[in-house]
Amino acid sequence: MAEKVTIATVARHARVSRQTVSNVLNSPHIVRQETRQRVEDAINALGYRANQAARQMRTGRSRLIAARIDPTRDGINGSVLDRFLHGLTETADAAGYRVLLYTATDDEREIATYDDLLGTYELDAFVLVGTKYGDPRTAWLAERDVPFVTFGRPWDALDAHPWVDVDGAAGTAGATRHLLAAGHRRIAFIGWPAGSGVGDDRRAGWRDALHEAGVDPTGLHRETEDGIAEGERLMHDLLDTVAPSAVVCASDSLALGALQAIRGVDPPVAVIGFDDTPVAAAVGLTSVSQPLGEAAARCVDLLTGVLDGDHETPTPVLLQPSLALRHTA
């Protein structure tokens, strides 16, 4: 009969103490990355499986966190959240957690889902995405002392709760500077209606980069709801009114619409999107890329800090995007 694999067996294999193995299983964020990796390699090599029921009784935790999956939209920007959730699931698994996915079409239904999930499962915490001004979801959870972190800033008060975000303004500013360096001056922007924290942030990066270069952005901005058809319509409007030589868009959906509108336009108009979706890569669209895997990992790090009570409010994390250059810019 094969020997039973225990924490002590893993500790001997990884050349660490039993307490270190326990820390990797229960509080991985306090273990150095090199040591944690050695223990995880030993766990995988030996096929060790922790007794989840015993662990839950000991720690008072279910090791279960919940996150929303968006309803299907245009199949383009929805993939951004899919990539984040994939990274979240992998990182949570390495930390000994499981992710429960749910869906909701609006804030009211999402809050109703919180209530239902908390009454049905022994959830440890939530990871929220898509924050906004006056977000009722975070207020509902905070009022009930339910642990959570957000992928997205609390736009009303940056110290309201733990969060991870990507600097959208830095992304569009970098895209605009790239176009300026290529000789463009009439650089337009297609974004979302004012009042969206994410949309306002991305528009501000474009505007500030033009101001820094001594370019007046007046008349070069258009706004609409997200979508390919909407991007195409506003790009036609820009071509008819201000004839830009380049355009930065708040999303890849808008940018793909802009690409459709400029077919056959001479001289060509440079187009840059945002989110670097698989569709952008497939059609050769230059796009601002978010470090979604890192964002997911940092969300899990913050969440374990919240659950372990290491900090009253863990320090928020603002990550920097990069520009995936292709032939459209």
pLDDT at residue 1 in the model = 40
What's the CA gap between 143 and 130, in Å, rounded? 20
pLDDT at residue 53 in the model = 42
What's the CA gap between 6 and 222, in Å, rounded? 61
pLDDT at residue 74 in the model = 62
- pLDDT tens per residue, range 138-147: 999 999 999 9
Helix or strand (DSSP H, E) at 65 = strand 64-68
Q: Read off φ and ψ for residue 147, nearest 5 degrees.
A: -65, 140
pLDDT at residue 57 in the model = 41
Under the banding of pLDDT at 50, 70 and 90, the label for residue 255 is very high
55 has a pLDDT exceeding 90: no
What's the CA gap between 260 and 264, in Å, rounded? 9
- Find the mean pLDDT for residues 15-28: 79
What's the CA gap between 241 and 159, in Å, rounded? 42
Q: Name residues whose C-beta falls within 8 Å of residue 229's C-beta, 6 or more positions apart in sequence.
A: 257
159 has a pLDDT exceeding 50: yes
272 forms bridges with which residues in the sheet? 248, 286
pLDDT at residue 81 in the model = 85
What's the CA gap between 292 and 188, in Å, rounded? 27
- Find the mean pLDDT for residues 185-199: 96
- Find the mean pLDDT for residues 107-115: 94
Under the banding of pLDDT at 50, 70 and 90, the label for residue 52 is very low
Highest mean pLDDT among 45-49, 279-283, 305-309, 310-314: 279-283
180 has a pLDDT exceeding 60: yes
pLDDT at residue 31 in the model = 83
DSSP string, 243-302: --SEEEESSHHHHHHHHHHTTT-SSPPEEEEES--HHHHHHT-EEEE--HHHHHHHHHHH
pLDDT at residue 262 in the model = 95
